């Protein structure tokens, strides 16, 4: 959505609020306290709030979402989402602060709340055809070691899988303390592959020995390997991992060129951001999809504790 299209779609604050209400409730506002859908009325002047005549409670239309308790205009949130989607490698909090005004902490929190919505997996479908699996390391400096230097590192390992036909990608950060050894990666690699694929899937990997467990007789996968150690990156049969490696390059260019540094604590959110942008690159409803994902599970409020400093 261009800037002029954004102004035309959301000319006023009330128009932005009404747009979110239509996306979330689909024409029928439900009370979060008693679940009633009838006798629920919106205030004329306080358009963010509704009243339920059945239980006599007032509630915000943003309750249970990433916008809950925000003091900012919803148009500013929508504009932040829009420029976040338009940029291929992400938007820094400093850049968003220059666009919207306000404090750096406000912009930082807004971006992390949007990343939390991007990381929602409510609509995810498992892969079933040809997939490419690879691992990479993000951040930190490698430790000097005479043996296995490329495996002994202070960087955080990230595991990724991409379906070759649809170009849909998923990636997970391996949480660990200390060195990333072969045994640790193997313990995460195979369960991750099994979680996001179905039986009968063709799995293409490099020659890392952690994937050798996929060659077992009881494993329901077709495992193909490309030997990177011998500088083999593709064969005549189309066996390669170039698609997932392309995703790693975009992820790292965003971290190095835009964010400069990410902590292991929040790295998964940056990975989720890159995955969402890759999976919805040609999706015209990517903006609406984030608004739908903005409604977070009521049982998990960890997404709200992002930044407790400053106003938002």
Residues 180 and 297 in one domain: no
CATH code for the domain of 165: 3.30.420.10
Task: Judge whether 191 lies within some domain.
Answer: yes
- Site of tokens 């008693």: 34
- Nearest Cα residue to 128 out of 208, 214, 194: 194
Task: Judge whether 125 lies within some domain.
Answer: no
* pLDDT tens digits along 228-285: 888 888 877 788 889 999 999 999 999 988 998 888 889 999 999 999 999 887 788 8
* pLDDT tens digits along 287-296: 999 998 888 7
Residues 160 and 66 in one domain: no
Q: Which residues contact 276 (CB under 8 A, 6 or more apart)?
A: 118, 119, 286, 290
Residue 179 lies in domain: 130-264
Residues 73 and 152 in one domain: no
Task: Judge whether 204 lies within some domain.
Answer: yes
Q: Which helix (H) or strand (E) holds 252?
A: helix 242-254
Residues 134 and 253 in one domain: yes
Beta strands 130-138 and 156-163 are: antiparallel
Please report which confidence band the pLDDT of residue 227 belongs to, taking 50, 70 and 90 as the band edges: confident
Other CB atoms within 10 Å distance of the CB of residue 183: 8
- Overall number of domains in the chain: 2
What's the whole-model pTM score?
0.83
């Amino acid at each position: 959505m261009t800037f002029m299209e954004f102004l035309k779609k959301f000319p006023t604050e009330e128009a932005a609020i009404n747009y979110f209400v239509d996306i979330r409730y689909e024409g029928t506002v439900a009370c979060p306290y008693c679940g009633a859908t009838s006798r629920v009325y919106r205030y004329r002047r306080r358009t963010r709030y509704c009243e339920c005549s059945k239980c006599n409670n007032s509630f915000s239309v943003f309750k249970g979402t990433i916008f809950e308790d925000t003091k900012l205009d919803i148009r500013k949130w929508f504009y932040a989402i829009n420029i976040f989607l338009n940029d291929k490698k992400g938007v820094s909090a400093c850049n968003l602060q220059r666009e919207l005004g306000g404090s750096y902490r406000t912009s930082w929190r807004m971006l992390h709340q949007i990343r939390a919505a991007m990381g929602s997996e409510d609509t995810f479908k498992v892969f079933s055809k040809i997939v490419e699996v690879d691992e990479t390391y993000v951040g930190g400096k490698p430790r000097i070691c005479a043996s296995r230097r490329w495996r002994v590192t202070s960087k955080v390992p990230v595991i990724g899988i991409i379906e070759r036909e649809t170009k849909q990608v998923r990636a997970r950060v391996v949480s660990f303390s200390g060195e990333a050894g072969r045994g640790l990666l193997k313990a995460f690699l195979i369960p991750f592959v099994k979680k996001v694929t179905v039986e009968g899937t063709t799995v293409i990997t490099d020659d890392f020995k952690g994937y050798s467990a996929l060659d077992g007789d009881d494993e329901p996968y077709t495992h193909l390997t490309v030997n990177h150690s011998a500088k083999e990156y593709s064969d005549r049969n189309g066996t390669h991992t170039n698609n997932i490696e392309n995703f790693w390059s975009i992820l790292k260019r965003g971290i190095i060129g835009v964010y400069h540094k990410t902590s292991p604590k929040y790295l998964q959110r940056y990975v989720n951001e890159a995955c969402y942008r890759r999976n919805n690159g040609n999706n015209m409803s990517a903006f609406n999809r984030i608004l739908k994902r903005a409604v977070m599970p009521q049982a998990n409020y960890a997404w709200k504790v992002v930044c407790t400093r400053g106003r938002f």
